[in-house]
Amino acid sequence: MVIAQCKKLIKVYPGAQDFRALDEVSLSIKEGEFVSIMGPSGCGKSTLLNILGLLDEPTGGEYILNGVPTQRLSDARRTELRRNEIGFIFQSFNLMPRLSVLENIALPMRYTNMPRADILPRARELAVRVGLEKKLHSTPLQLSGGQCQRVACARSLANKPSIILADEPTGNLDSKASAEILTLLKELNDGGMTIIMVTHDPKIAQGTHRIIHVKDGKIV
């Protein structure tokens, strides 16, 4: 089953000379796939990921997420989709520095209608799943990079998304931590999670089902 489908996506950044970041990109991702997107910097892979994650809107083309065409949705509806269907993992972790590990993992759930009493138990469950049961009350500043990225992984799972979008999740990590994160992502994928990962590192990309190469806004 196709979970995310792009048809001729175009993204133009207006300026003195319009910049075409995506040039008619078509792509479809099946449920349970682990896909990596590779390409030199500035090739449009981050733009693609932002559009897939509903953080940005394409200038043209279609994007269908889980059967829902997204191009004419209101901001509220896009937010709802993003909240429920997509989990993000960022290169620089993007955790809330003042919240504990537990609260960081719980944060996406705070934006849902989930009963308040259920939020922390589920956050704890997720923390255990990524192996941080001993760090529940630490803040991100007290954690290593690898640990931070694990918090981010747990957070991305909070609202049971259909896709995880990882933007160079190992970019800020040493090789050991990178391997750990990759293993974690693979485990998630084995559990049926669809994952799209942007990476520079061919070694990391080799562990995925499919590698999509992007160059100058096109898939090659």
Partner 1 sequence: MRLPDLMATGWTEVWAHKMCSFLSFFAIAIGIATFFYTLSILSQRYSRLGQTAKVAGAGRVETSTNHPLSLVQYQDLKARLPEGSSLALTTRNFNISNGRWWNTLYHRGNKLLGGGVRGILPSFKDADFVYRLEGRFINWKDVENKHRVVVMTVFPHEVKKAKKRFWWDDEEGVQLVKDYSAHHHLLQQQIELHHQTFTIVGILHLPTESDDVRLSRNREDRPMFYIPYTTWYDLYPEEKDTRQVDIRVVTGKESTAKAAGRSLASYLRSQFGVDEKPEIEFFQEKMEEHLTQARKSLNNMLFMGIIAMIAGGIGIMNVTMAVIFSRTKEIGIRRAIGASRKDILFQFVVEAMLLGLCGSVAGMILGYMAVLHLAEDTSQMTFSWWVVALSVLIALVTSFLFALYPAWQAAKLKPVDALKNE
Residue 53 touches partner 1, criterion: CB under 8 A: yes
Q: Return the residue of 82, 124, 129, 150 that touches partner 1, per CB under 8 A.
A: 82
Least distance (Å) between residue 176 CB and partner 1: 26
Residue 112 touches partner 1, criterion: CB under 8 A: yes
Comparing C-alpha atoms, which of 64, 34, 87 is closest to residue 212? 34
Q: Are 129 and 70 in contact (CB under 8 A)?
A: no
Comparing C-alpha atoms, which of 141, 148, 144, 189 is closest to residue 169? 148
Residue 124 touches partner 1, criterion: CB under 8 A: no
Residue 141 DSSP one-character state = G
Residue 68 touches partner 1, criterion: CB under 8 A: no
Q: Return the residue of 26, 71, 79, 142 that touches partner 1, per CB under 8 A.
A: 79
3 state SS for 68-127: EECCCCCHHHHHHHHHHHEEEECCCCCCCCCCCHHHHHHHHHHCCCCCHHHHHHHHHHHH
Residue 138 touches partner 1, criterion: CB under 8 A: no
Residue closer to partner 1 by CB (options 52, 185) is 52
Residue closer to partner 1 by CB (options 5, 50) is 50
Site for partner 1 in 173-202 (CB under 8 A): none
Residue 55 touches partner 1, criterion: CB under 8 A: yes
Task: Find the part of the chain contacting partner 1 (CB under 8 A) among 29-37, 83-91, 186-194, 199-207.
Answer: 83-91
Residue 217 touches partner 1, criterion: CB under 8 A: no
Q: Which residue has 């259909």 as its token pair?
A: 162
19-30/194-199 β-pairing = unpaired
210-215/218-219 β-pairing = antiparallel
Interaction mask 140-179, partner 1, x per CB under 8 A: ---------------x--xx--------------------
How far is 143 from 140, CA to CA, in rounded Å? 5
How far is 215 from 116, CA to CA, in rounded Å? 45
Q: Which residues bind partner 1 (CB under 8 A)?
A: 50, 53, 55-56, 75-76, 79-80, 82-84, 88, 94, 96, 98-99, 107-108, 110-112, 116, 155, 158-159
